[in-house]
Amino acid sequence: MSFWLLKTEPGTYAFSDLERDGKTRWDGVSNNLALKNLRMMTKGDLVLIYHTGEERSIVGIAEVVSAPYADPKAKDSRLVVVDIKAKKALKTPVPLSEIRKKKELSDFVLVRLPRLSVMPVTEKQWNLLLQMAT
Domain ranges of the chain: 3-132
Q: How many angstroms separate the CA atoms of 97 and 111, rounded?
A: 10
pLDDT at 77: 86
Q: What are 88's strand-pairing partners?
A: 61
Mean pLDDT within 35-52: 98
Q: pLDDT tier at 73 (50, 70, 90 boundaries)? A: very high
| Mean pLDDT across the chain | 96
The amino acid at 109 = V
Angle, vertex CA 101, rays to CA 123 and CA 110, nearest 5: 50
User: Per-residue pLDDT for 65 more than 90?
Assistant: yes
CATH number of 3-132: 3.10.590.10
Cβ neighbour number for residue 104 with a 10 Å cutoff? 9
Q: Is the pLDDT of residue 96 over 90?
A: yes
